[in-house]
Structure 1
Amino acid sequence: MAQYRIRPYQDGDYEAARTLFACGILEHVPATYRHLLQAGRAQLALLALVAAVRAAAGCWAPALGAAVLALLAAWPLVRSLATSYVQEALETDLRDIRAAYVEPPDASFWVAEAGGVLVGTVAAVPAPEPGVLELKRMSVRRDQRGRGIARVLVREVLRFAEARGYGAVVLSTSVVQVAAQRLYEGQGFRRVGAASPSLLGSLLCFQIFDYRRELPAGPRAE
């Protein structure tokens, strides 16, 4: 397997970086659907639906049919949650990566390259909270995972933050991205909050976890 290297983003990486990000998010749709099916609130709602239809119809067939229809209807809702997030990203910061992450002095975008192919990305940008840097757009191609690429990308952001005197790095990941949660926790991040990203997310029992890692205090670079 080809060795990989981490380097700064170049304009020629534009399409590959956007595609990698989109594919990385959309691949979590099945896990999000399974998470919904396993959520106690969703199971109670499904049981209530079955009971209500059974009581109204007087037999089990319509009740079971209603349950099947509800499960089928949930899939496009779960997928729309992911696609809307991808679309928003592609139309905002990933629409002009150079303007969002290359030109600002305290932002950056890195890619991992193996065999001349882009296999990973990560970005950093100042967070709304003063003295805090946000890690964003972490993604590693599925067939390249397990090689330590994501860990090296996280460390690149941490070094970048420390060199500029930031006091902390924050990031967000979803409830279904268990491997990402383990990675960040292994790099010293701790979970500091959780919330649903939208009304649809709340209905689908989907949450975003916020993580934070404090950094050694240092002078803030100007």
Structure 2
Amino acid sequence: MNGAGVPMASYRIRQYQDKDFDAVRTLFARGMLEHSPAGYRHVLRSARVQLQLLVLFVLVRAAGGFWLLGLGAVALALVAIWLLVHSYSTAYVRQALGTDMADVRGTYLRSPHSCFWVAEAGGAVVGMVAVEPPQDPAERAVALELKRLSVSREHRGCGIAAALCAEVLRFARTRGFGAVVLSTSVVQVPAQRLYESQGFRRVGATSPSLLAFLLCFQVFRYRCDLPGPTAAPPR
């Protein structure tokens, strides 16, 4: 598959057009909010959170003298955790929709080192991916960053995500960059497997905020070193 939109099986990859604006924003938002249940399960599997829930149960049970009070307190805590996880996801979506996803063309199609592609099937946008120079000044000289990779639920398992990822790697290689970097969350396990199958390796992990730390939520940093000699990217 190439950026010119050559058909591949039942879909094709092409460069973003203004008519795709609403579709890519909807696809992005739905894809990110799908991770809320996985994020909730991840938090509940944390030994630290389980210990805190146990302590809460014991303290309320001891103070009130009834098992039901302890169970009720734990139930309220579980609801509060879900609301926090969901609010974290929705805040991230709102932030993205108000920044780069508010002006896709202006963000990704006005620089020789940025681009935005969509995967189209049956006349509908079913996948997308973007690339741009990373924020880290040390990486900007040698790498590009893969962003906003998403495929609709109905079209997963067809190789679209791998093809979009490969499109970014080719784009970076033809422009003389030696690597592609990206970030993904601890709960996006299928995405991690995809990236690793494409040659990415994990190079770091951070908690991006205090709330993320409290929720035991991490963002993983991945890097793929591109093979072969590369020329210095043009300035």
Smaller-chain TM-score bracket: over 0.9
Alignment match, 1:59: 66
Between 56-65 and 31-40, the greater mean CA deviation after superposition: 56-65
Q: What is the DSSP-based 3-state SS (H/G/I as helix, E as strand, rest coil) of the residue aligned with 1:147?
A: coil
Whole-angstrom CA distance in 2 between matches of 1:104 and 1:165:
15
Alignment match, 2:214: 203
For structure 1, the 5+ residue unaligned runs are: none
Alignment match, 2:148: 137
CA-atom RMSD in angstroms = 1.0
2:59 is the alignment partner of 1:71: no
2:20 is the alignment partner of 1:13: yes
2:181 is the alignment partner of 1:170: yes
Q: What is the DSSP-based 3-state SS (H/G/I as helix, E as strand, rest coil) of the residue aligned with 1:121?
A: strand
Counterpart selection for 2:105 from 98, 101, 122 = 98
Q: What is the DSSP-based 3-state SS (H/G/I as helix, E as strand, rest coil) of the residue aligned with 1:146?
A: coil
- Report the alpha carbon displacement of residue 208 of structure 1 after superposing the two structures with TM: 0.9
Whole-angstrom CA distance in 2 between matches of 1:94 and 1:115:
24
Q: What is the DSSP-based 3-state SS (H/G/I as helix, E as strand, rest coil) of the residue aligned with 1:94?
A: helix
1:113-128 to structure 2, matched below 5 A, reads 113-127=120-134, 128=136
- Percent of aligned pairs with the same residue? 62
- Report the alpha carbon displacement of residue 221 of structure 1 after superposing the two structures with TM: 3.4
- Report the alpha carbon displacement of residue 172 of structure 1 after superposing the two structures with TM: 0.7
Whole-angstrom CA distance in 2 between matches of 1:150 and 1:64:
43
Q: What is the DSSP-based 3-state SS (H/G/I as helix, E as strand, rest coil) of the residue aligned with 1:220?
A: coil
Whole-angstrom CA distance in 1 between matches of 2:112 and 2:180:
17
TM-score (norm 1): 0.97
What does the per-residue CA deviation read over 1:36-93, in whole Å, with 9 as the maximum and x for residues that have no partner?
Answer: 1111111011011111112222232211110011011111111001000001101111
Aligned length: 221
For structure 2, the 5+ residue unaligned runs are: 1-8
Alignment match, 1:188: 199
Whether the aligned pair in 1 keeps the contact of 2:142 and 2:233 (CA below 8 Å) is: no
Whole-angstrom CA distance in 2 between matches of 1:142 and 1:61:
40
Whole-angstrom CA distance in 2 between matches of 1:61 and 1:146:
45
What does the per-residue CA deviation read over 1:139-190, in whole Å, with 9 as the maximum and x for residues that have no partner?
Answer: 0000000000000000000000000111110001111111100000000100
What does the per-residue CA deviation read over 1:1-41, in whole Å, with 9 as the maximum and x for residues that have no partner?
Answer: x8100000001101101110000000111111111111111
Following superposition, which runs of at least 4 residues in structure 1 exceed 6 angstroms of deviation?
Answer: none
Whether the aligned pair in 1 keeps the contact of 2:176 and 2:230 (CA below 8 Å) is: yes
Determine which structure has greater relative contact order: mean sequence separation of CA pairs < 8 Å that are 6+ residues apart, divided by chain length. Answer: 1
Whether the aligned pair in 1 keeps the contact of 2:150 and 2:161 (CA below 8 Å) is: yes
Whole-angstrom CA distance in 1 between matches of 2:203 and 2:54:
33
Counterpart selection for 1:157 from 161, 165, 168 = 168
Counterpart selection for 1:112 from 97, 119, 124 = 119
Question: Aligned AA for 2:46?
Answer: A
Whole-angstrom CA distance in 1 between matches of 2:232 and 2:148:
24
Q: What is the DSSP-based 3-state SS (H/G/I as helix, E as strand, rest coil) of the residue aligned with 1:104?
A: coil
Whether the aligned pair in 1 keeps the contact of 2:146 and 2:168 (CA below 8 Å) is: yes
2:224 is the alignment partner of 1:219: no
Whole-angstrom CA distance in 1 between matches of 2:42 and 2:191:
16
Whole-angstrom CA distance in 1 between matches of 2:142 and 2:98:
27
